[in-house]
Amino acid sequence: MDGRAQGEIIEVNGRVINRGGDAVGGARLVVWQANSFGKYAHPNDSNPAPLDPNFVGFAELFSAHDGGYCFKTVKPGAYPAGVDRVRPPHIHFEVQGKFDRLITQMYFPGEPLNASDPVLLSANDPNLLIARPLASEDGASHRQFTFDIVLMRG
């Protein structure tokens, strides 16, 4: 091991805003996900996929004054969720603003498993839970996605 998590490195950025479009600065974001093999670093994960000793699986960060946030991670893998179901790659977010708390998931565009995921399909507008790819900057060594998080009041 070279000390780096295995898998495709990605960058996720976005803004935490309220329904009026105002920035929510200082929002606490707790982010967690499976590793590139689809395994969570949690003792209750029964998936036989391997753990990655260089992947922590969660982080805590705070939105900037303009509501912006950004982090690098590995793209999570799909994983079994029962006998006949596989969850698509996704990242979990718990967001605590000044007034509101939201737990949500961010999905990746173009994933075939999105079309059959009951969690994604239960959303009023599933498209709001799918990150948008950003055009790659010259020399960027990883893909970038943007995912804005909207809280009711902030």
Is position 92 annotated as part of the catalytic site? yes
Q: List the catalytic residue out of 15, 69, 90, 107.
A: 90
* Per-residue pLDDT at 3: 86
pLDDT in tens, 73-93: 999 999 999 888 999 999 999
Catalytic residue flag (residue 90): yes
- 3-class DSSP state for residue 133? strand
Spatial separation of the C-alpha atoms in residues 51 and 108, rounded to whole Å: 22
Kindly state the tokens that stand for 53.
Answer: 């000793």
Stated pTM of the model: 0.95
Residue 124, helix vs strand vs coil: coil
Residues with pLDDT less than 70, the chain: 1-2, 138-139
Among the listed residues 15, 69, 79, 107, the single catalytic one is 79
Pairing between β-strand 9-18 and β-strand 143-146 as defined by DSSP bridges: parallel
User: Of 15, 69, 87, 107, which one is the catalytic site residue?
Assistant: 87
Specify the pLDDT at position 138.
Answer: 66
Q: Which domains does the chain have, with CATH numbers?
A: 9-151 (2.60.130.10)
User: According to the model, what pLDDT value does residue 135 have?
Assistant: 86
Task: Determine the Cα–Cα distance for residues 14 and 62; give it in Å rounded to an integer.
Answer: 12
What's the rounded Cα separation, in Å, for the pair 13 and 120?
A: 20
Report pLDDT for 136. 74
40, 101, 107, 143: which one is catalytic? 40
CA 125, 126, 127, 133 dihedral sign is positive
- Distance in Å from the first CA to the final CA of the chain: 42
Q: What is the pLDDT of residue 119?
A: 96
